[in-house]
Structure 1
Amino acid sequence: MFGVLEGTGFEVIEPEFEDCFIGHARVERLWTGARWSEGPAWFPAGRYLVWSDIPNNRLMRWDETDGSVSVFRSPSNNANGNTVDTQGRLVSCEHLTRRVTRTDHDGSLSVIASHWNGKRLNSPNDVVVKSDGSVWFTDPSYGIMMDYEGDRAESEIGACHVYRADPTTGDVTAVATDFVKPNGLAFSADEQHLFIADTGGTHQKNGPAHIRKFEVADDGKSLRGGDVLATCTNGFFDGFRLDRSGRIWTSAADGVHCLNRQGTLIGKVHIPEIVSNVCFGGAKLNRLFITGTTSLYSVFLNVNGVSR
């Protein structure tokens, strides 16, 4: 059932993509059995990966040491996006509770963000942690639009924004308010730019299906700019991560798309399911972990992910 998959592989669109992959490396399916896999996060100290199976209301764990898969947490409050903070702790976006939480080293949960201006968040979707400890996350309404990945409810805010939670005060501020459905996000290696996907086309005719590029202001707490960097050619850009050369490795309907610094699609890693998200892992951060609809995949690349 598991192992190297036929029909997967690399598609070179621009010659520069040829330097990004290893000729004999192949896509591996590490596990299957989810309903909608999302939010992979790599824990280097334990050599394991945590990811979400949102409709099944559980967090899963894959162990690099023996290839085993187990349930990390159930119920998970329909957790979606996950990341690792500067102290090696799990940070998760929870649809059901409409909040962002941190799992401390003793297993206890702390709430990072649940409200903005006194109103409940919609359903936090994806999250990244900056080197100063601030937590940046997107808040579309997917988790409250139906009962499949959360509880159906009305939005108290009435819009979908991108937020920053201050590491000292805990204050939650909106850093971008002109999105339809903000989704995946990631900082550049130098944290001078923040890239944010808008998947508004899922529920709005001719809506956005792109990634925007913002400049992080000198205060490190706000954004400016926000031009469209790239538009998805197959489905939607959901979750993504950057490598150390500034390329973006992003999910799409036909696999993983690789964009260069200018936003040009230079190649693809074909996956036989709709891809939701990716992250870099392994000892050298040269292994790309990929969450497909029902499965967890990986492939070794000739690039290295950004280390936080």
Structure 2
Amino acid sequence: MKCTADIFCLLSLLALSFRSVAQAPDIDPSFPVARNGKLQLISDQFSFTEGPAADAGGNVFFTDQPNNKIWKYDTNGSLTVFMDNAGRANGLYFNRRGELIVCADENNQLWSLSPGGKISVLIYDFQSKKLNGPNDVWINKKGDMYFTDPYYQREYWKRTKPDLKLQSVYLLKQGSHNLVSVEDSLVKPNGIVGTPNGKCLYVADIGASKTYRYTINKDGTLGEKKLFAEMGSDGMTIDNQGNLYLTGNGVTVFNKDGVRIKHIPVPAKWTANVCFGGENNDWLFITASDKLFKIKMQVKAAN
């Protein structure tokens, strides 16, 4: 996720790198969008939206990081503030207990929020050093959390350089307080999502304009690494057909073999993130600059 004015130039450069992929012809002009499905604007009252995540009921939570809020869009179409002073929340994800896991980069932490909004800090640092800024998170069925930690300088930080030399992907196993680095060879890891069976993890290296697929070992560490797409991504999600949704210039969809099948144009300077939600988990929600959109799909959430 990127939101502050000092990186708008970077966004423009990244958008150019996405454009050649996004403008390629669709293999299937309709799939995976529902027949007659059209992009619908929910609201444009924000500064920079990010981190959409749906709870078990299909209600969608997302962040407005510059305004330090987490919002909720429920299945009845009601839009409300879920949390003020939200730790400059970025990426979000619900665990199986209904707790909202928050990448809170105001103090470079990982939080857990109860349904009532009570904060528990899960991670304060790594090897006694501040994290770069937890960005996006994915949780498997066992409760193990994988999150990316790129460095984007924030105007609300006192520091002006990272404490850590590397920008890594981390694993926090269920019930553990021991944070483990599972990938530290990427330029700038950002979007992350895994398959429902817990066997594969996708990580976007937005700094290198590439997305990789890793096998997940039995102990949770990452095994074989393969290039999935010659495209980076800010946030991402996966559907129940195994298609992967990458963001930046709109939303670009790849099938499980890494073949581009669809591009969804989004009228915004930058498309940051996506998730499935709604009562039947068949709406794709898109956070894009100061806006929140949705579009009806033929497919559903993977999990």
- Comparing 55-64 with 117-126, greater Cα deviation is found at 55-64
2:127 & 2:264 partners in 1: Cα distance? 42
In structure 2, the CA distance between the partners of 1:170 and 1:86, relative to structure 1 (3 Å rule), is same
1:147 aligns with 2:131: no
User: 1:109-159 CA distances to partner (integer Å, 9 max, x unpaired)?
Assistant: 1111121122121100000111111111110111xx1306x5543211121
1:260 & 1:151 partners in 2: Cα distance? 42
2:29 & 2:256 partners in 1: Cα distance? 12
1:22 & 1:107 partners in 2: Cα distance? 35
User: Where does structure 1 lack aligned partners over 5 or more consecutive residues?
Assistant: 1-9, 201-207
1:17 CA displacement = 5.4
| Match 1:127 to one of 112, 119, 137 | 137
- Superposition misfits of 4+ residues, deviation over 6 angstroms: none
| Match 1:42 to one of 54, 58, 78 | 54
| Match 1:117 to one of 127, 137, 151 | 127
RMSD of the TM alignment (CA)? 1.8
| Match 1:258 to one of 253, 262, 278 | 253
Contact 2:33 2:295 in 1 (8 A): no
User: Where does structure 2 lack aligned partners over 5 or more consecutive residues?
Assistant: 1-21
Question: What does residue range 86-235 of structure 1 map to in structure 2 within 5 Å?
Answer: 86-142=96-152, 145-147=153-155, 150-200=157-207, 208-219=208-219, 221-232=220-231
1:76 & 1:209 partners in 2: Cα distance? 30
Partner AA of 2:267 in structure 1 = P
In structure 2, the CA distance between the partners of 1:227 and 1:92, relative to structure 1 (3 Å rule), is same
1:257 & 1:133 partners in 2: Cα distance? 28
Structure 1 vs Structure 2: percent identity of aligned residues? 26
**TM-score w.r.t. length of structure 1:** 0.86
Partner AA of 2:155 in structure 1 = D
1:32 & 1:174 partners in 2: Cα distance? 37
Partner AA of 2:281 in structure 1 = L
User: 1:75-129 CA distances to partner (integer Å, 9 max, x unpaired)?
Assistant: 1111100010111111100111101100023421111112112212110000011
Contact 2:27 2:260 in 1 (8 A): no
How many residues are treated as equivalent by the alignment?
281
Contact 2:245 2:252 in 1 (8 A): yes
Partner AA of 2:131 in structure 1 = L
Partner AA of 1:146 in structure 2 = R
1:21 aligns with 2:33: yes
Contact 1:44 1:281 in 2 (8 A): no
Contact 1:44 1:282 in 2 (8 A): no
Contact 2:90 2:135 in 1 (8 A): yes
1:55 CA displacement = 1.2
Partner AA of 1:176 in structure 2 = E
Contact 1:38 1:276 in 2 (8 A): yes
| Match 2:281 to one of 273, 277, 285 | 285
1:18 CA displacement = 3.1
2:121 & 2:272 partners in 1: Cα distance? 25
In structure 2, the CA distance between the partners of 1:68 and 1:12, relative to structure 1 (3 Å rule), is farther
1:269 aligns with 2:264: yes
1:12 CA displacement = 8.6
| Match 1:32 to one of 40, 44, 55 | 44
1:303 aligns with 2:303: no
Partner AA of 2:174 in structure 1 = P
Question: Corresponding residue for 1:5?
Answer: none
Q: Which has a greater percent of strand?
A: 1
In structure 2, the CA distance between the partners of 1:17 and 1:86, relative to structure 1 (3 Å rule), is farther
